[in-house]
């Protein structure tokens, strides 16, 4: 007891006189704590024991510069002295130190050493069980499910990165942290199987970052297997929460856990990197200096190696602290703090910002403002415009996320599909940091999966076929993203066999999509694959070939107001180019007038605009009105007839035409006036008009009126299938 009292007094004195970054003094305090902990072993008081461990852990955080707040340390030492006096006087200790332990960031479960768990601790068999969910745990368990599923998705992405660079400690740490979180919370919620599997996987990663085990394809596979099994168990929990029933714990994890623990046992003998090794590698000290310091440490076991080096003036305190931080970084990694925002709140902020933009535009065009001869008012309006524009950009930026996460999910998909099909396929990515609207990213995943599947199964040849035509046996899929104006472009390119035009034409004729006398461009032929149920493969595989997929791709991309283009070279591969708007909340378009109504044509679809000459206009039998542009006849669509409004221009050369493109097809839209390019906030047109073809949405314009946003794909469908009056003349007027 006397020894403990003396050490507590010495600790108090050291803390009072402790200078910033005094590594030697901090080392002494830690030594005192360790001696107190050892001497206190014979006394059974968990409060005192927990407080010592908490104080030691907090002091290590101060040394690692993870915190600068000394207050919890000082309060903890004061409380420790008070408890010690009570124990010494044989009085009851009833102090509630839970708040203090929380301030010291102490978790009792962390005191259990991971390396103490071995394969023999595991049960020989698992029995199915029904786990009751306590009412008070339901909210916590719901948060646990959502966060864990996000964490497991993050692990999958990081594992693919790790496979490409197994020595990357930061990536290992990025995988370790989510496992650690799942392990800790599942323990609290008594989800035993989830806890054990997460703990075993965490141990394996800990050995990897301590360089006790080498990351290879086998390790990656077993961790991916662990991720898949954890997902199943957590989804069971999710199902139980939604149905209000008990959790059916019917998944067996023994085999997987034992395989992981076998790897852990094999790696457990390797030592982690020492401070001395880090300092020698950095060139701060020589191996001889470390050797001399270790000899002295044998004589004075209580002293740390860093403290001895400082006393011998071989190195300064700052360099030792830097080395300790490197060791800590290697062992535990660094955690970036983030603020989570409910997506509903974020979407609400964007909607309100959109309303502000609309009202600002309406205010600017108000006659009272326009006719006012007040320079101060004019200046204030300009300031309001700038602030509104900046606020809109900031709000939109908050919805923007890098496309990297979606891209990296494709890496595992390629890995699994290549293994299943017996092909060697590498995925090369560029532009992963390109940002796009969060809602677009979520909708983009499914079409990209279809396209990657088709590329591997149909586009890329077998290893034997590639070698027979002089190609490398390993094929490559390139995934690229970049921004072009207000659009994001995604390219998916493979170096396989390319699309077979003859087979596509043959299939199209058999499905009565085309006739023998039709002349189609390459683009029109390739676009045939987007028809529902269109497949040219002769056999169905586990990967694809059932005739579903590419029509899904087209519909999904069009739903995002984008388009898909195909470029293919026989024997050299295919490239699919997806153009998408950066955001779904705002659209950039050309404001046009037809009669008294205003419409918005998305700039993504516009190719050119011009006033046609009289000799550029003609009609062709069974094809209707045509406009000659750049040496090619393009069908004319009269928007006034499509929407049943009265336009000003009866003859095309009296108005304007805008050439638009969709799926490789071009059409000229006849209109009365181009009013200019604008960015407009998209508004829903409601359920009543949702089924109206040719309209994608609405926008409130600066004059307060509603402008309809045109759906070019729908306009083409109306024009191709409607009873719009066509002027028929002798075929062959224009050669």
3-state secondary structure 439-480: HHHHHHHHHHHHHHHHHHHHHCCCHHHHHHCCCCCEEEEEEE
Helix/strand/coil for 65: coil
Please check whether residue 159 is in contact with residue 220, taking contact to mean a CB–CB distance below 8 angstroms.
yes
Contacting residues for 162 by C-beta, under 8 A, at least 6 apart: 168, 171, 172, 175, 215, 220
> What span, in angstroms and rounded, lies between the C-alpha atoms of 428 and 411?
9
Indicate the DSSP class of residue 683. Answer: B
DSSP state letters, 386-400: HHHHHHHHHHHHHHE
Give the torsion sign (CA, 726, 729, 730, 735): negative
Contacting residues for 531 by C-beta, under 8 A, at least 6 apart: 508, 511, 513, 551
Q: How far is CA 292 from CA 288, 311, 501, 588, in A?
A: 6, 12, 77, 71
Q: Is 458 a catalytic residue?
A: no
Closest residue by Cα to residue 159 from 143, 146, 173, 149: 173
Please check whether residue 55 is in contact with residue 76, taking contact to mean a CB–CB distance below 8 angstroms.
yes
Torsion of CA 356, 362, 365, 370, to 10 degrees: -70
Angle between helices 254-267 and 217-243 (to 10 degrees): 140
Please check whether residue 154 is in contact with residue 147, taking contact to mean a CB–CB distance below 8 angstroms.
no
Please compute, for residue 683, the number of CA atoms within 13 A of its CA located in the half-sphere on the CB side.
17
Q: What's phi and psi for 138, nearest 5 deg? A: -60, -45
Which entry of 151, 203, 454, 662 is annotated as an active-site residue?
454
**Strands 665-671, 632-638: pairing kind:** parallel
> What span, in angstroms and rounded, lies between the C-alpha atoms of 410 and 448?
8
> What span, in angstroms and rounded, lies between the C-alpha atoms of 435 and 392?
16
> What span, in angstroms and rounded, lies between the C-alpha atoms of 1 and 263?
44
Please check whether residue 38 is in contact with residue 6, taking contact to mean a CB–CB distance below 8 angstroms.
no
Which entry of 126, 156, 163, 202 is annotated as an active-site residue?
202
> What span, in angstroms and rounded, lies between the C-alpha atoms of 205 and 201?
6
Which entry of 7, 180, 199, 207 is annotated as an active-site residue?
180
Closest residue by Cα to residue 144 from 173, 114, 108, 183: 183
Q: Is 367 a catalytic residue?
A: no
Q: Is 124 a catalytic residue?
A: no
User: Catalytic residues, which ones?
Assistant: 180, 202, 454
């Amino acid at each position: 007891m006397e020894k403990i009292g003396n050490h507590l007094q010495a600790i108090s004195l050291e803390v009072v006189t402790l200078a910033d970054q005094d590594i030697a003094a901090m080392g002494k305090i830690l030594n005192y704590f360790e001696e107190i902990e050892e001497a206190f072993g014979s006394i059974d008081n968990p409060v005192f024991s927990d407080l010592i461990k908490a104080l030691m852990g907090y002091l290590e955080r101060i040394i690692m510069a993870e915190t600068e707040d000394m207050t919890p340390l000082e309060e903890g030492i004061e409380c420790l002295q008070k408890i010690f006096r009570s124990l010494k006087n044989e009085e009851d200790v009833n102090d509630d130190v839970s708040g203090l332990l929380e301030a010291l960031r102490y978790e009792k479960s962390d005191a259990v050493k991971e390396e103490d768990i071995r394969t023999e601790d595991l049960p020989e068999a698992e029995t199915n069980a029904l786990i009751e969910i306590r009412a008070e745990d339901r909210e916590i368990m719901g948060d646990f499910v959502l966060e864990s599923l996000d964490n497991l998705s993050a692990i999958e992405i990081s594992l693919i990165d790790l496979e490409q660079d197994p020595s990357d400690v930061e990536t290992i740490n990025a995988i370790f942290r989510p496992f650690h979180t799942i392990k800790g919370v599942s323990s609290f919620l008594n989800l035993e199987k989830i806890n054990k599997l997460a703990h075993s996987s965490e141990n394996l990663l800990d050995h990897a970052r301590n360089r006790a085990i080498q990351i290879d394809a086998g390790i990656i596979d077993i961790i991916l297997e662990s991720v898949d099994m954890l997902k199943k168990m957590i989804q069971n929990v999710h199902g139980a929460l939604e149905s209000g029933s008990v959790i059916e714990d019917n998944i067996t994890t023994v085999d997987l856990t034992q395989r992981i623990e076998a790897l852990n046992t094999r790696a457990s003998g390797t030592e982690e990197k020492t401070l001395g090794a880090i300092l020698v590698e950095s060139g701060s000290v020589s191996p001889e200096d470390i050797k001399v310091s270790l000899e002295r440490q044998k004589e004075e076991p209580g002293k740390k190696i860093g403290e001895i080096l400082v006393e011998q003036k071989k190195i300064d305190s700052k360099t030792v602290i830097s080395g300790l931080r490197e060791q800590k970084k290697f062992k535990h990694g660094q955690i970036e703090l983030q603020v989570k925002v409910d997506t509903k709140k974020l979407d609400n902020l964007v909607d309100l910002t959109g309303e502000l933009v609309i009202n600002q535009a309406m205010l600017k065009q108000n006659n009272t403002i326009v006719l006012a001869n007040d320079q101060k008012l004019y200046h204030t309006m300009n300031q309001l415009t700038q602030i509104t524009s900046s606020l809109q950009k900031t709000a939109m930026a908050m919805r923007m996320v890098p496309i990297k996460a979606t891209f990296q999910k494709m890496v595992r998909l390629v890995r699994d599909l290549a293994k299943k099909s017996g092909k060697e396929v590498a995925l090369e990515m560029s532009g992963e940091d390109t940002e796009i609207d969060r809602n677009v990213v979520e909708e983009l995943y499914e079409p990209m999966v279809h396209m990657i599947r088709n590329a591997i199964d149909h586009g890329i040849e077998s290893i034997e076929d590639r070698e027979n035509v002089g190609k490398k046996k390993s094929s490559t899929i390139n995934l690229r993203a970049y921004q072009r104006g207000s659009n994001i472009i995604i390219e998916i390119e493979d170096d396989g066999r390319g699309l077979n035009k003859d087979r596509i034409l043959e299939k199209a004729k058999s499905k009565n999509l085309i006739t023998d006398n039709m002349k189609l461009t390459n683009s029109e032929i390739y676009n045939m694959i987007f028809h529902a149920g269109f497949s040219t493969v002769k056999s169905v595989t586990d990967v694809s070939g059932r005739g579903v997929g590419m029509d899904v791709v087209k519909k999904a991309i069009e739903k995002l107001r984008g388009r898909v283009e195909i470029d293919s070279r026989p024997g050299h591969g295919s490239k699919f180019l997806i153009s998408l708007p950066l955001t779904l909340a705002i659209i950039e378009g050309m404001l046009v007038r037809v009669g008294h109504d205003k419409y918005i044509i998305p700039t993504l679809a516009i190719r050119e605009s011009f006033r046609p000459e009289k000799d550029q206009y003609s009609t062709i039998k069974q094809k209707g009105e045509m406009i000659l542009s750049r040496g090619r006849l393009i069908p004319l669509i009269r928007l006034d007839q499509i929407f049943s409004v009265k336009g000003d221009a009866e003859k095309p050369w009296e108005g304007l035409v805008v050439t638009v493109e969709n799926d490789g097809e071009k059409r000229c839209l006849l209109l009365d006036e181009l009013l200019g390019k604008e960015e407009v906030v998209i508004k829903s047109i409601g359920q009543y008009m949702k089924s109206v073809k040719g309209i994608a949405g609405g926008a409130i314009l600066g004059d307060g009126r509603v402008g309809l946003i045109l759906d070019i794909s729908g306009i083409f469908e109306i024009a191709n299938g409607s009873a719009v009056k066509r002027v028929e003349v002798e075929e062959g007027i224009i050669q």
